[in-house]
Chains A and B, each alone.
Chain A
Amino acid sequence: MDIPGYMGKILFVDLGTGATEVKPLKEAWAKDYLGGWGINYRLAYDLIKPNVDPFSPENPIILGEGPFVGTLYPGASKMMATTKMPMTASKDGKHAIATSTSGSHRFTLMFKYTGYDHMVIQGRSEKPVYLKIDDDAVELIDAGDLWGQKDVYETAEILLDRHEGFGVISIGKAGENRVRYAMAYVDKSWHLGKSGFGAIMGAKNLKAIVVRGSKGVKIADPDRFMAVVNPLLALARNNPAAAEIRKVGFHSSWDLIWVHNYYQSEKWKKAEWTKYYGIETVPNVLKDHKACCACPMGCKTDFLVKSGPYAGQEASATHYLTAAVAGSRLEIEDPGAAIKFMDKTNLYGMCAFNALSMVDWITRCFQDGVITKEQTEGVNLSRDVDTYLLLLDWVADRKGALGNAMADGWFALSEFVGKDATKDYIQAHAIAKGQESIYPPRAAKLDPMRITMIMTNPRGGQSPQGHSATTAPLRPVKAVKRDAVNTGMSEEDLGKTFSEDNFDHARLTRHIEDAYGVYNALGVCSVYATFGWTNIKVLAEAYSALTGIETSPEELKKKGERIMNLYKILNVREGFTRKEDSPPEAIFTPIQTPEGEQRLEDYYRKKAYTKEDCERLLDTYYEDRGWDVKTGIPTREKLKDLGLEEFAEAIPTEEKG
């Protein structure tokens, strides 16, 4: 296949036998599914057998990068890691096929330049190894000196010393011990996170991947491509909000966005939280920022605590908000301590959000007498930093019944506690399909992105998937509509979705998801969509210039819809239905804060949502998608309309109610 933007090959590596195979990327796949997670899902349909256990050698790792990756397109830095995820699950033990996404400073570029658009890693190595890919040379190297001995950072540093100029993905103890929310770390500071991708690497005895490539990305019409890229870069470089992000990371919008989107503290007023973690405190903890390749935002934050008992403590994170949320939920007044907590999760290689949430719940349970010392190795679980850190050790080491339960996710922990976290842990953000969403929907209010996070996304509660204008609170309808137009919505859909003073949240969700499908397929960071700079219109023009395949915004968006339907069908085949899309009970209990009640509401904070309201949102969403409202499964007609009829076999013949 020879389409500019694509490298044209897929690499298959078998960790068990060491065998490798290179196959051409099918031109039809590039045209139908664009690349990145689109083609990852197409591969997954053939390669992930239904109902295979996530930790089985038969569950492959599918890495993919879209056609924009490797170019100067702003934010074209995303790698997609698809597999059956150990954390995303239904109560009855089904696991979802989903994708962790990550940018990076170097790995992403080096991957693309190897000449492979996708890499499939199958089987399981008998002994710990790391995978080295140097252009065409693929090698499995003994990792006996790293496994069980070196943490995430040490592994990355040792391997980058050993293999100069490479990019690296590494796991730590959490991945080795199959903690279900173990992450894999890309170039040290970026994450394939939350759903347990690191544990999948661990289950394969794969400690790390190093990659280097020498081949460049060709452009069909270079001048036309740069005519799109240059104005975008100018916007990103000159915009004052972007300048603030460059200065302090995403904390820049603390007052405008984050304190409103995350606030559900039971003890602190907003002002108190701001005193500990607000924008004024950033200089006390900030060391530096790193950027993904081709990104003018440079938002990855490195911390260095400047004073106090944790002075000298360093950590790296997507942003300081993680520390602020850990602080508010665990009532840690000292940001230094929260940064210490984050650092520990990094060194072990586990999701800080899931970890802090479990630590929060289990210490609450202990305080409330729900669990006792007999269940906690005789240790008094107080609500203090030392206890929180100790619990992280237990998770990474799988120490005792509690350590194991915490390592095995919310269902196992619920069983251990004897309560159902999705119902009884009301302070949780929203535990959906076995994992917690980053945004607390009661504080952040429901908008398309939050609907995706807590209901419709097969991945379950997760990091923001599908940024749009509504990532920021209370944007006027006009601004939301302008953004919606840019996602390539038709006049008819716009008419159905927007009124003078509001929008249909459920209907807009589909379009935001489909646009997100395009971002992830092309390899572009969706954070830009919050600003509206990179939208489907712009992407369509750039895609046409890059590949030489003339594509209209409407066509591009349709491809996004096709990808999202394939993603859904993959998980329908695993047995997921409407039942799993229902939101968790806990979020319907309001949280009492010193600033009043936080309840589940619409984006404009005017209407409270009950469980029934959310079910109605789902009705509309399915109907709008052309899916069966009763089961939440794409209909045969819809699949045919999208050219996906070959996957209709995945629809259960006796549709379950």
Chain B
Amino acid sequence: MKYLMVDYDECRGCHSCALACSFGKTREFNINRSSISIVSFPKKGFFIPVICTQCLKPVCEDVCPVEPEKAIYRDKDTGAMIIDEDLCIGCKLCISACPIGAPWLDEENSKIMKCDLCDGDPRCVKHCNYGALHYVKADEETMKKRREGAHKISLVLDKLN
């Protein structure tokens, strides 16, 4: 399964991800109507992209009061948590519950929105100019990290031998 991986060191704060996201979903350019936001820390000089992590135990689903079927479900192909527009009653409990602010209220369309991974081809990743956003397989990413870790250890061993 792929997931949206953020390389925080690389973000330069250009907002292209949020511009592309808003355009894809609303047909206007507006970083306020986007499922991804760049939060800047001017004192430290860095930028943090914030986007839904598609939790394995999603609190947004837990708190959804719609019955018998919840208004939010997991897409089998992408693993994204998707809001069912027809079922959603707009109670905003998911907004309250999510620890990173992934779901949001689109006042213009009176809808709760969140990242749906653009059906497996996320626009924010396509429009990231600096390699901060990646759509990668979790197991491959893990192995990549382990190889990098192993490489570092091998350098130490090299020195010792």
Contacts and interface: CB of A to CB of B under 8 A. Distances in A.
A257 to B, nearest CB: 23
Most B-side CB within 10 Å, residue of A105, A233, A287: A105
B30 A296 contact: no
Nearest to A189: B45
A296 B16 contact: yes
A216 B30 contact: yes
B19 interface: yes
Nearest to B108: A216
A109 B42 contact: no
B127 A302 contact: no
A72 interface: yes
Contact of B12 (A188, A213, A290): A290
A295 B14 contact: yes
Given A160-B42, A290-B13, A222 B27 contact: yes
A298 B13 CA distance: 9
Contact of A293 (B15, B27, B33): B15
B27 A291 contact: no
A214 B130 contact: no
Contact of B16 (A72, A156, A222, A288): A72
A71 interface: yes
Contact of B13 (A105, A236, A237): A105
Interface in B9-37: 12-16, 19-20, 22-23, 26-33
Contacts of A109: 15, 31
Interface string A214-257: 11111100100010000001001100000000100000000000
Interface size range of chain B in the complex: 20 to 34
Interface size range of chain A in the complex: 35 or more
B14 A298 contact: yes
B30 A215 contact: yes
Contacts of A291: 12-14, 129-130
Interface in B29-54: 29-33, 40, 42-43, 45-47
Contact of A218 (B16, B28, B31): B28
A561 interface: no
A184 to B, nearest CB: 16
Contacts of B30: 70, 113, 214-217
Contacts of B23: 72, 222, 226
Contacts of B29: 70-72, 216-217, 219
> Could you tell me the dominant secondary structure of chain B's interface residues?
mixed
Interface in A269-316: 287-296, 298, 302, 316
Nearest to A188: B42
Contacts of A219: 27-29
Contact of B15 (A105, A222, A288): A105
A298 B130 contact: yes
B129 A237 contact: yes
A157 B45 CA distance: 10
Contacts of B27: 218-219, 222
A71 B23 CA distance: 9
Contacts of A288: 12, 45-46
B11 to A, nearest CB: 9
A198 B16 CA distance: 29
A108 to B, nearest CB: 10
B14 A187 contact: no
A237 B131 CA distance: 10
Nearest to B130: A298
B127 A233 contact: yes
A246 to B, nearest CB: 7
A1 B95 CA distance: 36
A106 interface: yes
Given A160-B42, A291-B14, A292-B14, A216 B26 contact: yes
Given A236-B129, A291-B129, A302-B45, 12 more contacts: A70-B29, A72-B20, A105-B14, A157-B43, A214-B32, A216-B22, A222-B23, A222-B27, A293-B15, A296-B14, A298-B12, A298-B14
Across the A-B interface, give the 9 residue pairs with the lowest CB-CB distance, nearest first: A216-B30, A291-B14, A216-B28, A296-B129, A291-B12, A105-B13, A298-B12, A217-B29, A71-B29
5 contacts: A216-B32, A222-B23, A290-B12, A296-B16, A298-B130
